[in-house]
Copies of this chain bind each other. A is one copy, B any other.
Amino acid sequence: MNDHSTTYTSTEYRTPDGAPTDIVVFTITSTEKAGAKKSLPIRALEVMLIKRKQWPFEGKWALPGGFTKETETVRQCAERELMEETGVSGVHLDYFNVYSAPGRDPRGWMISHAFFALVQEAYVASRRTSDEAADVRLIPVEEALEMDLAFDHGTILSDALDKIRQHMMTTTIAREFLPERFTMSELYQVIQTVVPSFQERNFIRKITSTQSRRGIIEEVRNAEGQPLMSNQYSQRPAQLYRFTDYTPELSIYG
């Protein structure tokens, strides 16, 4: 419905006005329960948003991100912008989609590359504001989904959430939200925080004593071969586990 009348010479093409990246930074915050002394914390999935200081969408909340430079890949751009805007670095960063609908950015023709990052709460404690942002804040995802975000960031956030839910069930990205050593309850809580519908009554047993899943996680032992335990969240000490570097291959056919 447009410029088929123009001559077909490649040098006459209009070129994009920029190749931005947007990063959906997820973290799981832990809050101790009020009453009990030793109990599992309340966990919540939150996303990092920045309040814009400039046109366009001045005053609206947006995902961190920025423009790719000629000398870097879009991944390097995402890493750099994440560091510049939120002070977060060295984290798990996954590319998941491109957003190219005409008119999605009032500044011009912008094709944006979206990443999600999974970071531990401690990593974002030292976050800071930058030139471009009036405020950086962690917002519970359910709340963020209801907000009227800048650009098409509502769609991007929603897509990112779908992706990490799928990855949470099919890969070992849960490790990104956990310390090196963790208990089964912690793992179970993390999975449930990201995927609320997840429920396994015999979770511990399935992970530890099922041959086909043996290998994704292993018990942590000390030099003498004694199992290492933690009583951080419970009276009775719980076995500590760690992820191995093995990820099982899934199949719908068997």
Contacts and interface: CB of A to CB of B under 8 A. Distances in A.
Counting every copy of the chain, the complex holds 2
The A contact surface, by secondary structure, is loop
Contacts of A70: 14, 102, 109
A16 B18 contact: yes
A72 B131 CA distance: 33
Interface string A11-22: 001111111000
Contacts of A253: 169, 191, 198, 200, 203, 206-207, 213
Interface size class of A (residues with CB under 8 A): 35 or more
B101 A252 contact: no
Interface in A196-254: 198, 200, 202-203, 206-207, 213, 216, 247-254
Contacts of A183: none
B251 A3 contact: no
Interface in A1-38: 1-3, 8, 10, 13-19
A169 B15 contact: no
Contacts of A249: 169
A170 interface: yes
Given A14-B70, A203-B253, A247-B252, A19 B169 contact: no
